[in-house]
Amino acid sequence: MLKVYGIEHILFLLIVTIISTFSLILLKKYIKNEKKQKIVIIIFAIIHFSLVVWNRLAVNEYNLNLLKLLPTSFCGTTSFVFPFCIVFCKKDSKILQFASSCALLGGIVTLAYPDFIGQDASIFYDKTITGLLHHVFLVYNFILICIFGRYKPSMKNWNSLILGLCCYMTYGIFSITIIGNSDAMVIYNPLLPGSIFNWFVTGILFIILYTICLLIYERIAFKKENRWLSNILNKFKKNKNNHINDENI
């Protein structure tokens, strides 16, 4: 039986990491034209979406009930949304920033701990391999749009995560109450059985990590005068100086 960090899982991670790294390096080096970059992004978006649809079909034993094919997890939902976002959204879009954040975190966390990996003795079992691969493409396509310059996160779009999570939880309630799923978006059951990582704790941790990463990114990628935190501090200093001047008058 397969297990997390068993030989099959480790080999899968190694092979995927090597192939992904070299392919991204080659794409960055040789695909310079914006039109060609767009074509590459569309191709990988189609592959990604096809994998998550295949996974949903496999999980539902190839039952063609469309409502049952809708995803019930954060990563599954993001794999449905993210391919469309990277094709149709502008690089400074709030929707793209939310979807990209979910894609990166969800992809990395799930590949590091795929709790579904013990479904069969073979990693090539359709439910298992498609589940692993659509999470791979969450991370791969995130890096792809970054190296092509088609995604630029910003603190000015910080609230996109809050709004997006509200939409996800609303969808989760719809999935449970209307479609009839036993759980969705970890509303009833935590990410890890018996842990504290329910929807509330997970959401708070995600928001904290998201904020820290954005601040670090802006510090590295933005000039000081363009950073969100610098602008806030400058406005605070300006208001403070204006207040002092008013008192002196």
How confident is the model over 105-147, as pLDDT tens digits? 999 999 999 989 988 888 999 999 999 999 999 999 999 999 9
Higher pLDDT, 231 or 167: 167
Q: How many domains does the chain have?
A: 1
Alpha-carbon Rg for the chain in angstroms: 21
Residue 4, pLDDT > 80, answer yes
Higher pLDDT, 230 or 99: 99
pTM of the prediction? 0.90
Residue 32, pLDDT > 60, answer yes
Domain-located, residue 111: yes
Domain-located, residue 2: no
Tell me the C-alpha distance between 218 and 138, whole Å. Answer: 23
Domain-located, residue 1: no
**Residues 117 and 4: beta-carbon distance below 8 Å:** yes
**Residues 164 and 206: beta-carbon distance below 8 Å:** no
pLDDT at 191: 81
**Residues 117 and 177: beta-carbon distance below 8 Å:** no
Residue 236, pLDDT > 70, answer no
237-242's contacts with Cβ under 8 Å and 24+ in sequence apart are none
**Residues 87 and 102: beta-carbon distance below 8 Å:** no
Domain-located, residue 69: yes
Domain-located, residue 117: yes
Domain-located, residue 211: yes
Show the domain range for 183: 7-248
pLDDT at 227: 76
Tell me the C-alpha distance between 116 and 238, whole Å. Answer: 54
Domain-located, residue 42: yes
Coil, strand or helix: which one is 184? coil
Q: Give residue-wise pLDDT tens across range 62-71.
A: 988 888 899 9
For residues 194-211, average pLDDT: 91
- Confidence category of residue 158, pLDDT binned at 50, 70, 90: very high
For residues 9-30, average pLDDT: 97
Q: Give residue-wise pLDDT tens across range 81-90.
A: 999 999 999 9
Residue 215, pLDDT > 60, answer yes
- pLDDT averaged over every residue in the chain: 90
- Confidence category of residue 53, pLDDT binned at 50, 70, 90: very high
- Confidence category of residue 72, pLDDT binned at 50, 70, 90: very high
Q: Which region among 39-48, 120-129, 223-232 has the lowest average model confidence (pLDDT)?
A: 223-232
pLDDT at 222: 81
Domain-located, residue 190: yes
Tell me the C-alpha distance between 26 and 35, whole Å. Answer: 17
pLDDT at 238: 61
Residue for token digits 């001047």?
Answer: 245
